[in-house]
Copies of this chain bind each other. A is one copy, B any other.
Amino acid sequence: MPTHPSDEERETRDSGKAGAVRTRRKAERPGEILEAAFEEFVQKGYAATRLEDVAARAGVTKGTIYVYFENKEQVFVAMVRELSRPVHVQAEEFAESSASSTAEFLRAYLCFLYRILATDPRGREIFRLLIAEANRFPELIDEHHQNFMGPVVRRLRQSLEDGAERGEIRRSSILEFPELLLSPALSLNISMLLFSDRRPIDMERHFEIAVDLLLNGLLQRPAGKADQPGQSS
């Protein structure tokens, strides 16, 4: 054996999963390749990305990519799917752990979505790629809608309806476009995408102000209960 196994491989052997190093590599390669693909696609865009660079970043050569993926398009599609999954499960998880009053839930939910849409750099960049390549990969867009946007909007609508039922929220036609509640986060996202880091934005503050704007447009203000946007954490 002229060459020595890399540290990773040796390490793996110790952890003694039923399979062998080989199968472990085989199992992990796709993920590594997709991770590398993400970074390259983000940096250069779909068309300008060289699969050879992706391979190099993943520590393999171009041929290996074609062992696991059909072609460049499929690498891209698989990458988007792979990196969207965590977002989807996060959203799912959040859905479980919901409770409390409508206003409170809305605030928490919007905060959560802010983090996903605007704060998390990965979410941001995936979003950029989706916008840029929407015409070339419509199926990805539809998936995204089905797995993320759809449920989120449904949840928002439900929440608004509940709130109206309970009298916490004024009845308004916003039920027709609940996604309007996401627009501040989206707007922030776009800003970040445009001015990568040239114009620093206080995202915390942005969120507070957006919530203030939204809630004071939503909450019925009979009197007493003041709806302050103040830091509740």
Contacts and interface: CB of A to CB of B under 8 A. Distances in A.
Interface in A196-233: 196, 198, 205-206, 208-210, 212-218, 221, 223-224, 226-231
Contacts of A183: 183-184, 186-187, 210
A180 B213 contact: yes
Interface string A62-90: 00000000000000000000000000000
Nearest to A179: B187
A218 B196 CA distance: 30
Interface string A177-200: 101101110110011011110100
Given A216-B229, A217-B217, A226-B223, A131 B190 contact: yes
A46 interface: yes
Contacts of A215: 217
Interface stretch (A8-16, A21-29, A103-111, A132-140): A132-140
Given A173-B209, A177-B209, A231-B208, A194 B46 contact: no
Contact of A141 (B131, B180, B194): B194
Contact of A45 (B45, B141, B145): B45
Interface centre among A142, A177, A193, A209, by most chain B C-beta atoms within 10 angstroms, is A177
Contacts of A132: 45, 128, 131-132
Contacts of A46: 45, 47-48
Contact of A180 (B135, B136, B184, B216): B184
Interface string A127-168: 010111111101001101100000000000000000000000
A58 B227 CA distance: 56
Contacts of A213: 172, 174, 180, 214, 217-218
28 contacts: A45-B46, A45-B132, A46-B48, A47-B47, A128-B131, A128-B134, A131-B131, A131-B193, A131-B194, A170-B216, A172-B209, A173-B229, A174-B209, A174-B212, A174-B213, A176-B205, A177-B205, A179-B187, A180-B213, A183-B183, A183-B187, A183-B210, A208-B231, A212-B217, A213-B217, A215-B217, A223-B224, A229-B231
Given A45-B133, A183-B210, A216-B229, 14 more contacts: A45-B132, A131-B132, A138-B196, A173-B229, A176-B209, A180-B187, A180-B209, A187-B187, A208-B231, A212-B217, A214-B217, A221-B223, A221-B226, A223-B226
